[in-house]
Chain A
Amino acid sequence: MNKLLKNAIWILIAALGAAAVGGIALNRGESINTLWFITAALCVYAIAYRFYAVWIAATVLAVDETRATPAERLDNGRDFVPTNKWIVFGHHFAAIAGPGPLVGPTLAAQFGYLPGTLWILFGAVLGGCVQDMVTLFLSTRRDAKSLGQMARDELGALGGTAALIGTFAIMIILIAVLGLVVVNAMKHSPWATATVSATIPIAMIVGLYMRSFRPGQVLEASALGVALLLLSVVGGGWIDRNETLRVWFDHEGLTLAWAVMAYGFAAAILPVWLLLAPRDYLSTYVKLGTITLLAVAIVMLQPTVKMPALTQFIDGTGPIFGGKLFPFVFITIACGAISGFHALIASGTTPKLLSNERDIRMIGYGGMLLESFVAIMAMMAATVLDPGVFFAINSPAGVVGKEAVDAVAKISSWGFPVTVEQMQLLANQMGEATLFARTGGAPSLAVGMASIFGSAFGESMLALWYHFAIMFEAIFILTTLDAGTRVGRFMLQDMLGNIWPKMAETSWTPSVIFTSALVVASWGYFLYIGVIDPNGGVNILWPLFGIANQMLAAIALCVATGILVKSGKLKYAWVTGLPLMWLVTITSTAAWEKIASDNIRIGFFSAANDLADKLAVGALPPEKAAIAPKLIFNLHLDGWLTLFFVTLLWLIVFDMLRVCSRYLAGKPVLPLAESPHSPSRLVEDWVRD
């Protein structure tokens, strides 16, 4: 009876999920309620978690709950510590959830709500969650080794080197594009600039508090910091209304880009306790709090999605970024569906805390499900806006024109009516001078979140909600920027240490300054490209980031597939092999289009040639002719970089296939690096306190 009831419940969930997904997919009416999206997401996640994840854990990976984990065997009371599964889940989720799942879906909403939503749901349950869970499992079986180390041990030197270079490259592009998102949100917005700047001294106060004033009192210091952050949102509004003070914070994009670079350099050389650690605490609290608040507001309010299921831009003419639905929706939404970066976390801190292999499903698979849900919420926040407003905020001036009148005329001509008055009213409500051409995703997400929060918790505070949302995104973008620059610095020091050992000393000041400057210069250059680009920069940088991130995911899946085959599990290799094939397909197609397309909004080289031709015949206005040589060089650089990424990807895929075919032919391959079985001695109750 009991079993029958359980089956009946699961059949009901499956039917409900199918109905909701079908409803979303087939709806062609004016609007659709967000409740459909939440239902579809929760049912898909529940089914996948209950059946697919259980099957992978039990049959493909064969997790063994009697086997001692690295946390138990190597327990040192510091980084290796057997930890309660909910705590590990919290750490893992806080580490994987960054700004990526918020920005990607917002940009991809230019295709309509449907393609992005389906990719977020099915990409996550079949790809992203599997990658995270399998990587976590493999690392747990190998003394919590990193992805790069596992690639070296299991595939060979080529795989290991590729993983290292891939990680470094993605870090550089990631920081540049996130920097661009922040710059576009602060451009000529004294309120946003003042609030975001205030987060720096606030982080330092918190750092000093928990280092010197009350050492180790993390929660006290954090509470103080969060209070100060909220105060800075209000204070920013006060500065904005003060005529003398507001000019101090009213800047061009380029000035702000230099400031972001200076900040990144300072953050990389200052001690962690002063800036990086406290900022990380604050951003984690604000992030978890805001995501929870957004979920509550959406469930309470159930706003209506106004964006159509599909827009005409699936043909590749979209204003935010050029390129057809296939493959560009899959490149644009990386985090939220599948993110290679997660493999670095799942093979880093998390396996050092895991007390039992049985929890791998909940932490690896479940953590990614929650991230996917964040991406769904971002998609909802972007699509509840009037499509006309959405496009007015996100379309760069280079596409729709600099003047408000031109922009609204152009956007309305696409069939998304919007007026200058409507945009002005919205800007006034949000406490901004203008909301036109704020490409990057952060401002439109902030407007979406502000209108959702506003209707749920009080309309009068729209401007506060808007700047709170901007602060929320900026604070963890800057955290990624700090942490990424620092990690990049360590990686570079490590690499240069092979040539000159003294460079590898992480506390040798000349090396610290040199490598930090080099890392900042690398991402700073791409940030600079993005800021001076008349088409908003996102069109160039976001696809590069997507390609790099998917390439890293492909590396992780190559390692996983190779190990599955080497473990004699060829018949299950499709579990990671199919997502891998899909990633290789979309990454290669996207890279090919970015390199070879004749369309100047897609192909890097054709855009460079077009610009060069126009420059030669003098068809460019003087201010554009002045920067044209730089733009041409940048486009070439981007094109070569894309080619480099895709070559690296194919090298690893062939290396993995080489190892697999040698194994299947009975030839010698590198042995499995799995650490030997030792029985777990942990008493159940002790760990699960």
Chain B
Amino acid sequence: MLGKLKMFWRMVRRLSGDDAYERYLQHHAAHHQADTPLGKEVFFKQWQDEKWNGIKRCC
């Protein structure tokens, strides 16, 4: 039961983008170890601007 709740919570965080920075850090650690990752604030700004550039919602 607790495991299921945890999984649900993970999904909510993933869907809402709450964990976007953590995922970015993971991706960064795996692929671009050479340079330093962006700070949370800067990353979030870029992420948000990218996310709403284009058709994202329908009728």
Q: What chain A residues lie within 8 Å of B45 (beta carbons)?
A: 211, 215, 273
Given contacts A216-B21, A218-B16, A218-B17, contact A480 B50 (CB under 8 A): no
Chain A interface category by residue count = 35 or more
B55 touching A348, Cβ below 8 Å: yes
**How far apart are A13's CB and chain B's nearest CB, in angstroms?**
27
A219 touching B12, Cβ below 8 Å: yes
A77 touching B55, Cβ below 8 Å: no
Interface members, chain B 7-59 (any A CB < 8 Å)? 10-18, 20-21, 23-24, 27-28, 31, 40-41, 43-45, 47-59
**How far apart are A650's CB and chain B's nearest CB, in angstroms?**
24
Given contacts A77-B31, A222-B16, contact A216 B41 (CB under 8 A): yes
User: How distant is the Cα of A216 from the Cα of B21 in the complex, in angstroms?
Assistant: 8
Q: Indicate the member of A84, A215, A549 with the most B CB atoms within 10 Å.
A: A215
User: How distant is the Cα of A147 from the Cα of B41 in the complex, in angstroms?
Assistant: 34
One of A215, A219, A276, A348 near B13 (C-beta < 8 A): A219
Interface secondary structure of A, over-half rule = helix
User: How distant is the Cα of A84 from the Cα of B57 in the complex, in angstroms?
Assistant: 21
Query: Which of A196-204, A336-344, A449-457 is the interface stretch?
Result: A336-344
B27 touching A344, Cβ below 8 Å: no
One of B14, B41, B47, B54 near A78 (C-beta < 8 A): B47
One of B43, B49, B54, B58 near A97 (C-beta < 8 A): B58
- Chain A residue with minimal CB distance to B22? A216
One of A86, A99, A219, A486 near B59 (C-beta < 8 A): A99
B11 touching A487, Cβ below 8 Å: no
- Chain A residue with minimal CB distance to B46? A78
Q: What chain B residues lie within 8 Å of A646 (beta carbons)?
A: none
Q: What chain B residues lie within 8 Å of A349 (beta carbons)?
A: 54, 56
Question: Is A79's beta carbon under 8 Å from chain B?
Answer: yes
Interface members, chain A 333-384 (any B CB < 8 Å)? 335, 339, 341-342, 344-345, 348-349
Question: Is A178's beta carbon under 8 Å from chain B?
Answer: yes
Taken residue by residue from 243 to 279, chain A's Cβ proximity to chain B (1 for < 8 Å, 0 otherwise) reads as 0000000000000000000000000000011001100
- Chain A residue with minimal CB distance to B52? A272
Q: What chain B residues lie within 8 Å of A210 (beta carbons)?
A: 44
- Chain A residue with minimal CB distance to B12? A219
Q: What chain A residues lie within 8 Å of B41 (beta carbons)?
A: 215-216
A277 touching B15, Cβ below 8 Å: no
User: How distant is the Cα of A60 from the Cα of B15 in the complex, in angstroms?
Assistant: 31
Given contacts A215-B41, A218-B16, A218-B17, contact A86 B11 (CB under 8 A): yes
A483 touching B20, Cβ below 8 Å: no
**How far apart are A419's CB and chain B's nearest CB, in angstroms?**
36
Taken residue by residue from 539 to 578, chain A's Cβ proximity to chain B (1 for < 8 Å, 0 otherwise) reads as 0000000000100000000000000000000000000000
Q: What chain B residues lie within 8 Å of A273 (beta carbons)?
A: 45, 48-49
**How far apart are A351's CB and chain B's nearest CB, in angstroms?**
13
Taken residue by residue from 64 to 91, chain A's Cβ proximity to chain B (1 for < 8 Å, 0 otherwise) reads as 0000000000010111010110110011
User: How distant is the Cα of A483 from the Cα of B42 in the complex, in angstroms?
Assistant: 23
Question: Is A95's beta carbon under 8 Å from chain B?
Answer: yes
Interface members, chain A 150-178 (any B CB < 8 Å)? 174, 178
Q: What chain B residues lie within 8 Å of A490 (beta carbons)?
A: 53-54
- Chain A residue with minimal CB distance to B57? A483
User: How distant is the Cα of A273 from the Cα of B53 in the complex, in angstroms?
Assistant: 11
Q: What chain A residues lie within 8 Å of B17 (beta carbons)?
A: 218
Q: What chain A residues lie within 8 Å of B23 (beta carbons)?
A: 77, 81
**How far apart are B25's CB and chain A's nearest CB, in angstroms?**
10
Given pairs A211-B44, A345-B55, 4 additional interface contacts (CB within 8 A): A98-B58, A215-B44, A272-B49, A341-B58
The 6 closest A-B pairs by CB, nearest first: A77-B27, A100-B59, A216-B44, A272-B52, A215-B41, A218-B18
Chain A interface residues toward B at CB < 8 A: 75, 77-79, 81, 83-84, 86-87, 90-91, 94-100, 174, 178, 210-211, 215-219, 222, 272-273, 276-277, 280-281, 335, 339, 341-342, 344-345, 348-349, 479-480, 483-484, 486-487, 490, 549, 689
